[in-house]
Structure 1
């Protein structure tokens, strides 16, 4: 993980950045606070809230999240069992706080997701629920949907069920802290089993043709004390992958339960089409790391992606190109018969979002449907009647969140670089010729080549447009020509040999 702070640069820079970030809230119609009526309804629900009768506070569950998180959706416990493993996974019981058809329900449907802006989080639910009464905070009795899994020695699920229960998390752990404990040989049995089971689930994912990208994530954060902003580049720790496998396992189990009951909502994504696969294969070959699609030694695109290291320039360019293989994700609601499309291709099977109800709307429906099916009771009428509304609500929320994330990063990148116009940076070319500017240029050998491309700076980790003669997967020198905070743009030009001054 790397942190790049926005330089002081004088009041004009700080004012310009603050103004641009404030404009994002207006542009994206982000509310300043939670509306009075749904907030009052939430507070009333908290006061009247009753915990489930089934008491499982004996389970020594722990939460594992970023260190500063307080909206804790999941708590986990892994144990050895005869013939394999037992996994308990508690998910926050958000539906118990939301009255269907009420003001809070309507506001949550309007929001769809928790949004993350540089100057603060915009929660899906009032903080009184998401940060307190509904959050699986340590030492507190909380209502939860308690999943119980039986796994065989290879980590495959042999039985899964979910039931509402009262639980109590024993500790709030961070990814970095857990990774250090595991690496240092100080981990509890639960955390050691998280690694053991996580690795086995990754192997199962490989066998079923699942795939994942290793692109480092960019996040904009604000220091709570100084108010300064930073661009954070996050390379996931191994424990984050192991922990994610428990969530993926739960989502796959939820999908199976709903498909068998012929009622629910899936998260789907089609496999890449032949044209996309061919284009990607040509790109990989051009970058000197061919993908063996057929013949002896052939591998799936998921297995090929696992061989890539984003720290290497050519591999980084290939990983960016692979994004074209992960398109078309959507939600599919069904009631009465199974949908035609059921597979989430990147996971390699049917899948449902079910483990983040504090931060994502659709999980509320999935949880109540699965619990009803497992307990042999009717699916609540409110859930059944509104199932087909959820995919469009989530599509709108996902698009809104993605646009906000991109605008926030673009704004902060421009502020980060504005005082460095004219400087030359080391960069990696991650693509060429597919930018909005188009155009061509004469290459060194006289051939016509694309005159625009996308580069990633080595430091800071900014991705930007660049003009000039370039080849994907190579290191170049690039001069910063402009950085406009208000327009949210930065522009570079490739520097030819002998022209770096």
Structure 2
């Protein structure tokens, strides 16, 4: 859940036996992997699935960039300068080498859809023997991968795309904070020294495309080191944005390949209706945020600092522009609606196959198109099922995230009922109810009272903090 930036730190949850098992039970999350699937993993680790020839790309000094402690490493990157522009090597874990089509592991992965992240442990798409070990692009290990090579012109636009199966070896496992510090000190890892250049160019292209992006910090739950939990805000580092641009670029290239061949599966978000944009403009005007009439939403939002209360309220209100996300499968020519409004282009998921089911299928389509071959039958047989499977898993993932945040909020505040807090009004309904953000601890919750207005700074009193119902309610003080 996105939230505005506030003071660092959070309120700890110190009571014993506080975990998220109730959420797992309520949502029916799987606890273990079926034994047949686990046995199949061991077989394919010993003898991977035959997927065709591979080039030896172990000489490329690829690196991974992920959150600290991550083990399910899907992507490894190398950015080099060309005589005119840049070349990006982007290796993606080749999960198809370990998942026999139609087997027990394939069936269970299709049931799960994606990895679910809870503060006290993940529910993985694939067994950890695969996702955090044999298929993960861990440093110093030779791994099967799908290697994208994308040449960019001096403006950051793709000129040539190559895609093939390969063997790769990452030379370093980096994390966002460490990369950020190294860049600030002027001593970046040589494999990604040019990432800022490419990242900035791609960000500029995103605004030109009309990408509607909300760069709000994330509200997260983390361990306090004593067996309890605390809420924190994690602002998105600029290096994360640059790294994400490489993934987005790859997904856009994948979408173009599929569209050219008339077959594939896209991640789609419809363009907002004109009246929705007009409503957002009116909200901005009420908040005193200047928005010239000829300025599109992408440019207007990119120029707003969400730390400012009024700009924060506009960013939160802008979530209404990105509704209706889904997956579009096509097999007989390009679909009528193929755009992703948040990206400003057609887009396909291909860069996180360890954590997301659809990426394995999209990648196989792209490999077939790149080599001018037929799409494998097992992919064709399953394409039509992907929107339903991914839609269902997306809904569960959203429920998990919201429930964990709500649980931690209630735990954090259970002993503070009656206290007052400074807050920012994020949403308001008829001036008598709404949603507020409290910075310390970083909580977003319902608020009642007269005169609420979006972007307003108010003092609120905590009236409900119920861990059993995962409910927090404030009222205007």
For residue 404 of structure 2, give the secondary structure of its aligned residue in structure 1: helix
Measure the CA separation in 2 of the matches of 1:379 and 1:50. Answer: 17
Pair 1:233 & 2:233 matched: yes
Measure the CA separation in 2 of the matches of 1:112 and 1:187. Answer: 36
Measure the CA separation in 2 of the matches of 1:484 and 1:424. Answer: 17
Divergent runs of 4+, >4 A? none
Pair 1:269 & 2:269 matched: yes
Measure the CA separation in 1 of the matches of 2:446 and 2:189. Answer: 47
Deviation at 1:368, TM superposition (A): 0.8
Instruction: Give the equivalent residue in structure 1 for 2:12.
Output: 6
Deviation at 1:191, TM superposition (A): 2.2
Pair 1:414 & 2:416 matched: no
Instruction: Give the equivalent residue in structure 1 for 2:135.
Output: 134
1:400 corresponds to which of 396, 415, 418? 396
Q: Structure 1, residues 315-344: CA drift from partner, whole Å, max 9, x if none?
A: 111111111111111100111221111111
Measure the CA separation in 2 of the matches of 1:80 and 1:87. Answer: 9
Deviation at 1:5, TM superposition (A): 4.3
Instruction: Give the equivalent residue in structure 1 for 2:47.
Output: 48
Measure the CA separation in 2 of the matches of 1:471 and 1:377. Answer: 58
Pair 1:182 & 2:183 matched: yes
Instruction: Give the equivalent residue in structure 2 for 1:119.
Output: 120
Instruction: Give the equivalent residue in structure 2 for 1:221.
Output: 222
Instruction: Give the equivalent residue in structure 2 for 1:466.
Output: 447
Measure the CA separation in 1 of the matches of 2:328 and 2:399. Answer: 23
Are 2:140 and 2:171, in contact at CA under 8 Å, matched by a contact in 1?
yes
Pair 1:354 & 2:340 matched: no
Are 1:114 and 1:359, in contact at CA under 8 Å, matched by a contact in 2?
yes
Are 1:5 and 1:228, in contact at CA under 8 Å, matched by a contact in 2?
no
Are 2:49 and 2:98, in contact at CA under 8 Å, matched by a contact in 1?
no
Q: Structure 1, residues 325-379: CA drift from partner, whole Å, max 9, x if none?
A: 1111110011122111111111111100110000000000011110111122211
Instruction: Give the equivalent residue in structure 1 for 2:144.
Output: 143
Deviation at 1:395, TM superposition (A): 0.3
Measure the CA separation in 1 of the matches of 2:101 and 2:223. Answer: 35
For residue 147 of structure 2, give the secondary structure of its aligned residue in structure 1: strand
What are structure 2's unaligned runs of at least 5 residues?
Answer: none
What are structure 1's unaligned runs of at least 5 residues?
Answer: 434-448, 496-501
Pair 1:489 & 2:471 matched: yes
Question: 1:91-106 residue pairs with structure 2 within 5 A?
Answer: 91-106=92-107
Number of paired residues? 468
Pair 1:320 & 2:326 matched: no
Measure the CA separation in 1 of the matches of 2:368 and 2:162. Answer: 10
Instruction: Give the equivalent residue in structure 2 for 1:445.
Output: none
Tell me the TM-score normalised to structure 2 length: 0.96
For the pair shown, the structure with the greater C-alpha radius of gyration is 1
Considering only aligned residues, what root-mean-square deviation do their CA atoms show, in Å? 1.4
Tell me the TM-score normalised to structure 1 length: 0.91
Deviation at 1:50, TM superposition (A): 6.9
Deviation at 1:209, TM superposition (A): 1.1
Question: 1:241-260 residue pairs with structure 2 within 5 A?
Answer: 241-260=241-260
Instruction: Give the equivalent residue in structure 2 for 1:37.
Output: 36
Q: Higher RCO, 1 or 2 (CA under 8 Å, sep at least 6)?
A: 2
Are 2:16 and 2:227, in contact at CA under 8 Å, matched by a contact in 1?
no
